[in-house]
Structures are given as structure tokens and as C-alpha cells.
């Protein structure tokens, strides 16, 4: 099948490469000349495990191509996916200007009837909104289908190739049959296509992200209570997670969620609820808990250094909002570092993949006090304390002997509970984590 994709970002590029991997002829359009130039050379403009292998293979086989021209993409496609961004607006709602423009550009380029599939995360009612755009600007009939993505950054290729469900919001059986045809190669072990009305499909995406965000914020609140009463959140987590009604996923306390989805989607859902007269009490609480959680260590740091961080240097391991991605949007590490710098501190940061994206973020924030280094232990050299903000696997097995030789101070603030407190204490470090008792260093 000839498939077009508008948008070569985290959603569009994964969709395009995975669909081409199944034998479809896919053309991806994006307004970024730099991104398209890189993609034509087989180079992804962001880090996602597995994406470049698919990219190179399908470019070589001639099934995948890229363009800056939406009109050219429309001419070459039977079906078109809209996979553009829907960032948070100033009022908390989703900004649909990119969706509107993409729909209008496609509509004005149509030379025959097409099917348009909305892959972007959008509020309820967007399907009908896009239908109206095509009714106004297109010279040919267009069926608009909602097909929200459920991809995890860091595992997006695997999620697309082996989906646990495929949600389709459609008003015609013909449209449903088309979606079954597109996704049949991804459902060889069982039919996971869920057909529903577009409004329910749009709501399903927001509801899923809200449920996951709620688990994270609730567990972070429980972790604070554990710390206050002397309980160990790791024991509590295992005890709770063994209940089959609850399960063990998304129960790890930390510095809160980030990225391009959970923060904006929980706020967009809150805005949608208020728009329809429903008080979003839980959604607001989830967002509030998460905003506070990223600064969990700040009062502890200020207490240790007697409210004076001027002249202090902190090492930070992990800058991306989660491991296996270079995405630093809404990353807890970025906000925490900003607060440290505001208080006069300097920071040395290390991340296996996000040095470039983090550097751009700090540049936008005007944080000249941040030095980004290329090696993990370089970020610990001469620092007064070390903060761990992202649970990259290489941080799990730490060389504490090297750390003692490298650091000036002897305090670790672990925002991802990577180590056993007693083990860290025996290595000669004070250890703060989340939802577990603080331990003082044993003499070493």
C-alpha cells in the first residue's frame, strides 16, 4: 500500500519506518529541512533504539522516502497519517495549530479521494474538527480516522511492531476494513484491533496516559509517607505489586514523570474536563504531585550545605526524562539543575545519549553554569555531591572506589533508588534516596 506520513518526529518516523518494514511504500513529509536531509542519508535526528537499522534497510530497499513537500507526499499516497506535534498551549490545552495546518495542506493538495488517519495525541472532538477542515478545503471526499499511538520512547519500535492493542476510531465499515488491512502484518499472533467511535478512541489515549501518570504520582506520595514513618518503599512496592488487581508496573518511586506526553496530556485532559463542566480533581492532584516531586532533594541539599550553594559543584548522572531516549522535554533533571544554578551552584552533567539535546535546553534557559561532559565519572570529578536523575543501566553498577577518588564530597542523592542504602554506606557515602531511610557513611 502507498502510505504518506505528515511529521517525522517521534511518532511519525517510527510509524513510517515500521510500516515500510512490512512492505508498504511509505513517504514521510516534514517541514524541517535538516531532519529530512539527515533521514535521506539514513541518519535519525533523535535517538531511539532500533530506528536507524529500519531506516537504513528500508531506504536501501526503496520502500521509504522523505520530502519537505506535503503536496508531493499526497500525490504518492493512498492513505495519509497525520503525526504532527500537539504541544501544550498557554492555557494548558493541546495546541492544535499543527494538526490544523497539516490537514489544510493535505486538503489543498488532494487530487482524488483519500483516507486520513490521525496518529497524533489529540483531545476529544479533533476528528470532527479535521473533518470540517477537509469539507472546507478539499475538492474530493476524505474519510478521517482516529488511530492514537501507544508508543513508549526508548521502546517505540518494539511497541509498534508488536502492539498490545491497536485502537481505531472510525465511522464506516470500509474504514475499519482498511485499518485491518494496514495493521494485519502486526497482528499475526492475534487480532488486537479495537474498533470504536472516534471520540472514544481519542479519549482512550488520554485516559491511558492519565492512569499511568496517576500510578506514578500516587507511588511518589506513598514513598514520602514511607520515609516519614520509617517504612521501606521497596518492600511496600513489592507487597502491593504482587496483588494481581494492581500489578507491578509503574510502581517505582522517583523524581516524577516527564517527556512530551504525560505532563501535557494530563493537563490537556484537565482542561477538557473543565471545558465540559467536570472538575478534574484527581488530574490536578496528579500534576501537582509530579511538579513538586522533581524538587524532592532540593531542601535536603540546602540543609546539608546550610542554605548556601554558592561555589558548590554538583554532579548529575542522567539528563533525559527516562533511559533509552535523548528526550529532555519536561525532564526532572533539567528543572532540578535550573534550581541549583539559580542558587549559585555549578553543575557537571552526564547522559549517555542526551548531551546535544540537554545542551540545547540549557542554552535556551541561559544556564552557563552547566558543563556537559562525555564520560560518566568525569561528571563526578571534584563535586560536592552526586545526583542521579535517570535510571540508565550503566549507573547500576558503580565503581565506588573510583567515585571516592573522584568526588570532593561524600553524598549521593539517588532519585531512582538504584542501590541498597547499606551497601552505599559501607562504601563511605551518605545516601539519600526516595521512600527509604537515609544512611550515614560508614568510615572508609
Of these residues, 226, 261, 389, 433, which one is catalytic? 261
**CA gap 46, 48 in Å, rounded:** 7
Residues 160, 190 contacting (CB under 8 angstroms): no
Contact predicate 389/332, CB 8 Å: yes
User: Does 283 participate in catalysis according to the annotation?
Assistant: no
Cα 331 versus chain centre, distance: 9
Separation of CA 151 from chain center:
9
CB distance 318 to 391 below 8 Å: yes
Q: Are 279 and 273 in contact (CB under 8 A)?
A: yes
- Give the active site residues: 261
Amino acid at each position: 500500500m502507498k502510505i504518506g506520513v505528515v511529521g517525522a518526529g517521534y511518532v511519525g518516523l517510527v510509524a513510517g519506518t515500521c510500516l515500510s518494514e512490512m512492505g508498504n511504500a511509505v513517504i514521510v513529509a516534514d517541514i524541517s529541512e535538516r531532519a529530512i536531509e539527515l533521514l535521506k542519508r539514513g541518519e535519525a535526528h533523535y535517538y531511539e533504539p532500533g530506528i536507524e537499522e529500519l531506516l537504513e534497510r528500508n531506504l536501501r530497499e526503496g520502500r521509504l522516502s522523505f520530502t519537505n513537500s506535503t503536496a508531493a507526499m499526497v500525490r504518492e499516497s493512498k492513505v495519509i497519517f497525520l503525526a504532527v506535534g500537539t504541544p501544550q498551549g498557554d492555557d494548558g490545552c493541546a495546541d492544535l495549530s499543527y494538526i490544523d495546518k497539516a490537514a489544510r495542506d493535505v486538503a489543498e493538495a488532494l487530487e482524488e479521494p483519500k483516507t486520513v488517519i490521525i496518529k497524533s495525541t489529540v483531545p476529544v472532538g479533533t476528528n470532527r474538527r479535521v473533518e470540517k477542515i477537509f469539507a472546507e478545503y478539499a475538492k474530493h471526499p476524505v474519510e478521517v480516522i482516529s488511530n492514537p499511538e501507544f508508543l513508549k520512547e526508548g521502546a517505540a519500535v518494539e511497541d509498534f511492531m508488536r502492539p498490545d492493542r491497536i485502537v481505531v476510531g472510525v465511522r464506516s465499515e470500509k474504514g475499519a476494513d482498511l485499518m485491518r488491512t494496514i495493521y494485519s502484518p502486526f497482528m499475526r499472533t492475534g487480532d488486537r484491533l479495537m474498533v470504536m467511535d472516534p471520540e472514544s478512541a481519542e479519549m482512550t489515549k488520554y485516559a491511558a496516559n492519565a492512569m499511568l501518570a496517576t500510578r506514578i504520582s500516587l507511588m511518589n506520595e506513598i514513598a514520602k509517607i514511607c520515609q516519614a514513618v520509617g517504612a521501606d518503599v521497596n518492600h511496600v512496592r513489592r507487597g502491593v505489586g504482587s496483588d494481581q488487581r494492581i500489578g507491578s508496573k509503574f510502581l517505582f518511586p522517583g523524581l516524577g514523570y516527564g517527556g512530551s506526553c504525560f505532563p501535557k496530556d494530563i493537563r490537556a485532559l484537565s482542561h477538557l474536563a473543565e471545558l465540559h463542566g467536570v472538575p478534574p480533581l484527581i488530574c490536578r492532584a496528579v500534576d501537582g504531585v509530579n511538579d513538586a516531586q522533581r524538587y524532592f532533594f532540593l531542601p535536603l541539599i540546602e540543609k546539608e550545605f546550610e542554605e548556601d550553594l554558592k561555589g558548590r559543584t554538583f554532579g548529575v548522572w542522567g539528563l533525559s526524562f527516562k533511559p533509552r531516549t535523548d528526550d529532555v522535554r519536561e525532564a526532572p533533571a533539567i528543572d532540578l539543575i535550573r534550581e541549583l544554578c539559580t542558587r549559585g551552584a555549578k553543575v557537571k552533567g552526564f547522559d549517555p545519549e542526551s548531551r546535544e539535546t540537554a545542551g540545547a535546553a540549557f542554552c535556551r534557559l541561559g544556564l552557563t553554569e552547566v558543563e556537559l561532559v562525555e564520560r560518566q565519572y568525569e561528571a563526578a570529578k571534584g563535586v560536592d555531591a552526586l545526583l542521579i536523575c535517570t535510571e540508565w543501566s550503566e549507573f547500576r553498577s558503580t565503581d565506588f572506589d573510583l567515585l571516592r577518588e573522584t568526588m570532593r564530597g561524600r553524598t549521593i542523592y539517588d532519585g531512582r533508588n538504584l542501590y541498597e542504602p547499606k551497601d552505599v554506606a559501607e562504601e563511605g557515602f551518605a545516601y539519600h534516596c526516595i521512600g527509604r531511610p537515609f544512611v550515614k557513611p560508614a568510615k572508609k
